[in-house]
Chains A and B, each alone.
Chain A
Amino acid sequence: MSARDLWPGLALLALIALMPFVASNTVLNFLLSALIVALAAQGWNILGGYAGQLSFGHAAFFGMGAYATAILQIRYGVNAWAGLAAGIALGAVVGWVIGALSFRARLRGSYFALVTLAFAEVLRILANAADFTGGAAGLLIRLSPGVENLQFPSRAVFLWLVAGTVAAVLLLTAWIARGRFGARLVAVRENEDAARALGVDVLAVKLRAIALSGAVTAAAGCLYAQNFLYLDASIAYGTWISVEVLIACVLGGAGTVLGPVLGALALHGVGEVAKIVLGQVAGPVPGVDLVVFGALLVVGIAFLPRGVMGGLRRLVQRFPR
């Protein structure tokens, strides 16, 4: 049933891919950062949405990907595409390690949320203190546009790359959701003990979910680094990304194929509008977009507990064809 979300999703991404022909650079920049958040949120969705393990620390994976690409390029002169691959692999490894530690200790629910948050914070403090990561001053990736450096002179090509990645993960998610693995994820989410009784290897399923989730979110981190060419510890491992991907998924519809993408685009849009509107009234005010995000989270859970996708589905079911 969730594969039905696939076509509208691909159509939406195709529409976004056409934007460079009509829209200004401001709009393209907005779409780029929204799609990067969408990609990170797709990662969260596999673990939090399908497998039901709420992570409050996905910044750990996002930052791992971002730092891996940046450090490999700057310190070791590795090609950016290889850096991207390494970042994705590292995201999966870190996910697996965090998962192996915390799922083996049988942490779930709020305990799992807390421990993921703590892992992200530890990484942030370490990245902020170490020389290796550029410390508090952060890292600058040298500007040298060229396909081989994963930097493009025009915003359009990068947008196509990011939109293509989001589309690929959309396909991957739809494929997982239809298959055996997706069914196992949902079984673990709905009732872990029942799933175990039916012969599902709960630990293995969770580990695969968190590794995959970490890899996807790390890819978003790599692309973030390549897009902005700058990062520091509070960007890469900051709570903002953990919070934004979580809210994007919950609002869009956790455990649906299209939910995270819709949620991220809507959330980012609302945040920008809030910043602009309040900015015109009172000058730049820090934190306004986050106030709106938090309020949307509370209101969303109160009135649309299954997210926008759940709401749409209910609407569709109310009018039988």
Chain B
Amino acid sequence: MAEAVANGLLAGAAYALVALGLTLVYGVLHIVNFAHGALLTLAMFAAWGLHAAFGLDPYLAILPMAAGFMALGYGLQRWVIGPASHGDDGNTLLVTLGLSIVIENALLALFRSDTRTLGADSGFDVVELGPMLLSRPRLIGFGVSLLAAALLWAVLSATDTGKAIRAVAKEKLGAQLCGIDPRHVYAVTFGLGCACLAVAACLLLPTFYVNPRVGNAFVLVAFTIVVLGGMGSIPGALVGGLFVGVVESLGGLLLGESLGQLGIFVIFILVLLLRPTGLFGARA
């Protein structure tokens, strides 16, 4: 039981990172990014490809991957999503949905639905912690996720860019009048969201498989976390992520794998119906 809780916490950290990117984009752009899951899949394939082609360890790939996905996200928002949606929220939703369909199925066409893994045994390394056996890659993932979240928090609260992001999130017109270009800020935010995904992908890779649909498994979990934690709330995403990780781990233990899946959706629907502002979100 304690082991299940600990494992849930460890898995939850990766969820939290995925959710962090989603909540950041929602908090600033006020849109749900439906392409989030597909972008995570893309990041996992990229990390897998770097390993397969150049033997690059996924942990070493974190920094270049984050930089690359930051640029990708910036470009996507600046030149695709932004211009295509004419500033209408409904359109943005549909454009990100379109992007996710394109990315996911392009990967499917290129790599087929085969499942790939890193193929190393390192995924099964365990660390003994008191009475519990914990997986080493997951432990590393936990540490790095918290570090990445702290870093994001620091960027948002201390740098000028962070201030600009928060300003646009609060009052777009006011920020614009102060000389901030919201299109640039939107793109930077989207880039940061994608960078979170790249880090998460590198951390997940050693213990997880890769196939063109893998992002779907995470994206609904991430949506659940974001809704649970309150749309746009960063501490909410962290706590929500850890909570959902534990619930899933316990659910899998008590109900078995196939119905354990159901738990996430049920929580999701219940939270949306009963408390759509989440645990940390401001009252609408």
A interface list, Cβ under 8 A from B? 52, 54, 56, 101-102, 105-107, 109-111, 113-115, 117-119, 121-122, 125-126, 129, 243, 246-247, 250, 285-288, 290-291, 293-299, 301-302, 305
Contacts and interface: CB of A to CB of B under 8 A. Distances in A.
A122 B117 CA distance: 28
B126 interface: no
Contact of B98 (A110, A114, A294): A294
B220 A118 contact: yes
Given A294-B105, A301-B94, A301-B95, 12 more contacts: A107-B272, A107-B276, A111-B276, A118-B272, A119-B269, A122-B269, A290-B108, A291-B106, A296-B98, A297-B94, A297-B101, A298-B102
A114 B84 contact: no
Given A105-B274, A298-B84, A243 B31 contact: no
Contact of B106 (A114, A287, A298): A287
B223 interface: yes
Given A102-B273, A109-B90, A295 B102 contact: yes
Contacts of A114: 32, 223, 227, 268, 272
Interface string B241-284: 00000000000000000110110011011001110100000000
Interface string B23-37: 000000001101000
A122 B109 contact: no
Interface string B71-104: 0000000001001111011110111011111101
Contacts of B265: 118, 121-122, 125
B101 A110 contact: no
Q: Which of B86, B104, B105, B262 has the largest count of A CB atoms less than 10 A from its CB?
A: B105
Contacts of A54: 90, 93-94
B113 interface: yes
A126 B259 CA distance: 9
28 contacts: A52-B90, A56-B97, A105-B272, A105-B274, A107-B273, A109-B89, A110-B89, A110-B93, A113-B93, A114-B227, A118-B269, A122-B265, A122-B269, A125-B261, A125-B265, A129-B258, A286-B112, A286-B113, A287-B106, A287-B108, A291-B105, A294-B100, A294-B105, A295-B98, A297-B94, A297-B98, A302-B84, A302-B95
Nearest to A114: B223
B274 to A, nearest CB: 7
Q: Which of A119, A129, A295, A298 has the largest count of B CB atoms less than 10 A from its CB?
A: A298
Interface of B: 31-32, 34, 80, 83-86, 88-91, 93-95, 97-102, 104-106, 108-109, 112-113, 212, 220, 223, 227, 258-259, 261-262, 265-266, 268-269, 272-274, 276
Contacts of B113: 286
Contacts of B93: 54, 109-110, 113
Nearest to B84: A302
A272 to B, nearest CB: 16
Contacts, number: 123
A111 to B, nearest CB: 6
A115 B266 CA distance: 10
Contact of A301 (B98, B262, B266): B98
Contact of A291 (B94, B109, B259, B274): B109
A233 B86 CA distance: 37
B80 A298 contact: yes
A249 B99 CA distance: 17
Nearest to B107: A287
B85 to A, nearest CB: 6
Contacts of A243: 97, 101
Contacts of B80: 298
A110 B97 CA distance: 11
B109 to A, nearest CB: 5
Contact of B86 (A117, A246, A294, A305): A305
A102 to B, nearest CB: 7
A102 B276 CA distance: 10
A216 to B, nearest CB: 21
Nearest to A48: B90
A125 B83 CA distance: 37
The 9 closest A-B CB pairs, nearest first, are: A294-B101, A297-B98, A287-B105, A302-B84, A294-B102, A287-B108, A110-B32, A290-B105, A298-B98
